[in-house]
Amino acid sequence: MKSFKQAFTMIELVFVIVVLGILASVAIPRLSATRVDAQVTKCRSDISAIRSAIVSERQSRLIKGDNSWISELSGFSDNYFDGVDENHTLLMYGIKPKDANGHWYSWNNNNHTYKFKIEDEDNTFTYDPSKGTFLCTAGSKCSELTD
């Protein structure tokens, strides 16, 4: 009676490793692209919420007889887009800043600018309190984020 060993041969192991390597070389670039797509989608969603909140605040002011736009989008807490004060909030909970890809991370009230980072590149958004516009003014992803 013959006895068989229950093990893989070296050729079989090498073949499996080669196949896994080929699969990984195809999958990893696609996962990276998916991450950037998710960051773009998150930013587009944030921009939509911010613009909607600006218009909503303007409508509330018009009902009260004030035809001005909100003067600042951030200012009274550590969050971005929280509004001027507790009585004039923009986004109910604001957005926590984080210096990383896919996040808002910098703002300057003096020139009303906000930055969103995608692929280690800044995309700058500017709020115009005289017109109530929130536009992407610098960055290679501007058209992708606002179209």
Decide if 2 is inside a domain. Answer: no
Tell me how many domains the chain contains: 1
pLDDT reported for residue 5: 67
96 inside domain: yes
Residues 77-133 have pLDDT tens digits of 777 888 777 777 788 888 888 889 999 988 887 888 999 999 899 999 999 999 999
Residue 26's alpha-carbon distances to 14, 37, 77, 146, in angstroms, are 19, 17, 44, 30
Does 101 fall in a domain?
yes
Range of the domain at 112: 10-146
Give the tokens for residue 113.
């600018």
pTM of the model: 0.75
10 Å Cβ neighbour count for 82?
22
d(CA 125, CA 65): 29
**Residue in 17, 21, 58 with CA at minimum distance from that of residue 50:** 58
**Rounded Cα distance, 133 and 126, in Å:** 8
In this structure, is residue 123 part of a structural domain? yes
> Could you say which DSSP state residue 92 is in?
S
